[in-house]
Structure 1
Amino acid sequence: MTPAIKLLKKQGITHTVHEYKHNAHATSFGLEAAEKLNLSPELVFKTLIVQLDKQLAVCVVPVSHSLNLKAVAKAASSKKAAMADKQDAQKTTGYVLGGVSPLGQKKRLATFIDESALNYQTIYVSAGKRGMDVELAPQDLQNLCNATLANIKD
């Protein structure tokens, strides 16, 4: 059980875990999840770690879109945003890339969820390891992460 799943269970949040056989040669973990789980890519959200002016932050966007770094910087009231260093992202979250969950991270970071998540009753995010996603209500994800909703996708 991953820290993300443990957190959901501890908080009594309704969720469903979905597992699939991860292909080690996959280049897009989020699109792989959508394909293997037979879901619309609009429902599957990827977790990206960005470097803001002086701290890291979490961004959750649909796998069918790219992250708009300028929009993230604006939402965070920062001068700029860039993709975080891979080692820093893994060390800070406690997860390996491709399996980073917005839930249960080692260090709590400011979190931004693309507002399109609210268009759906449930969305899918990484459960904390490659080949495992968790389905939950976007409002529950927002509450657990104390996240800001913003238009942060391209």
Structure 2
Amino acid sequence: MSRTTRATQALTKAGIVHDLHAYIYDPGAERVGIQAAEALGEDPARVLKTLMIEIDGKPACAVIPSDRELSMKRAAAAFGGKSAQMMKPADAERLTGYHVGGISPFGQRRTVPVAIEAAAMEQALVYINGGQRGLQVRLAPKDAAGVLRAIVAPLVG
């Protein structure tokens, strides 16, 4: 496993303090984010999952705790749209340049608007996918929001 990805390069280039945490990725896991939290021995509220969505047909990214479900109504509202839906996995991979299970909001092939769940900002440190299956970056949520120019809003139901 490479510890250098477009995500880690983007964080390093931006001067964001982070550290890397590798774990054994289980492609058969029912909920990949929960599996990552368990493998890392972390509270699922601190291990965030990256979801590629479409707001009124336009790509966007939502970052939420791995134990929660995205509210499409709240996601649409956060981005100032009327409707939201999950992006098809093949479209997400093509847009981001990452494989499903390894999609990071950092260093995506194409920059899209990002929103982070407001409750995640209460954590001292969070884990976010590092751009590869089985690799997480740990960093301050305010640093993640800043480098992503993310909207911070309630996104979960």
TM over 0.5: yes
Contact 1:125 1:134 in 2 (8 A): yes
The CA deviation string for residues 5-31 of structure 1, in whole angstroms up to 9 with x for no partner, is 011111221101000111232222111
Aligned length: 154
Q: 1:143 aligns with which of 143, 146, 156?
A: 146
Q: TM-score, normalised by structure 1?
A: 0.97
Are 1:47 and 1:125, in contact at CA under 8 Å, matched by a contact in 2? yes
Is the CA contact (8 Å cut-off) linking 1:50 and 1:82 kept in structure 2?
yes
Contact 1:116 1:151 in 2 (8 A): yes
Aligned residue type for 1:103: F
**1:84 and 1:93 mapped to 2: Cα distance?**
11
Stretches of structure 2 that go unaligned for 5 or more consecutive residues are none
Q: 1:142·1:148 contact (CA, 8 Å) conserved in 2?
A: yes
CA separation in 2, counterparts of 1:114 and 1:7?
A: 21
Q: Give the SS at the match of 1:48.
A: strand
| Contact 1:124–1:134 (Cα < 8 Å) also in 2 | yes
1:59-96 deviations in Å (ceiling 9; x for gaps): 00000100000001111111100001111111111111
User: Which residue does the alignment assign to 1:108?
Assistant: 111
1:4 aligns with 2:19: no
Aligned to 2:59: 56
SS in 1 for 2:27: coil
TM-superposed CA distance for 1:54, in Å, is 3.2
Measure, in 1, the Cα distance between the counterparts of 2:128 and 2:35.
Answer: 12
8 Å CA contact retained: 1:29, 1:130? no
Partner of 2:78 in structure 1? 75
* Residue number among 16, 38, 57 corresponding to 1:35 in the alignment: 38
Equivalent AA in structure 1 for residue 96 of structure 2: T
* 4+ residue segments displaced more than 4 Å: none
Secondary structure (helix, strand or coil) at the match of 1:47 reads strand
2:123 pairs, out of 101, 120, 123, with 120
Matched, 1:97 2:100: yes
Conservation of the 8 A alpha-carbon contact between 1:113 and 1:148: yes
TM-score (norm 2): 0.95
RMSD: 0.8
Letter in 1 for 2:39: K
Question: Is residue 2:23 matched to residue 1:20?
Answer: yes
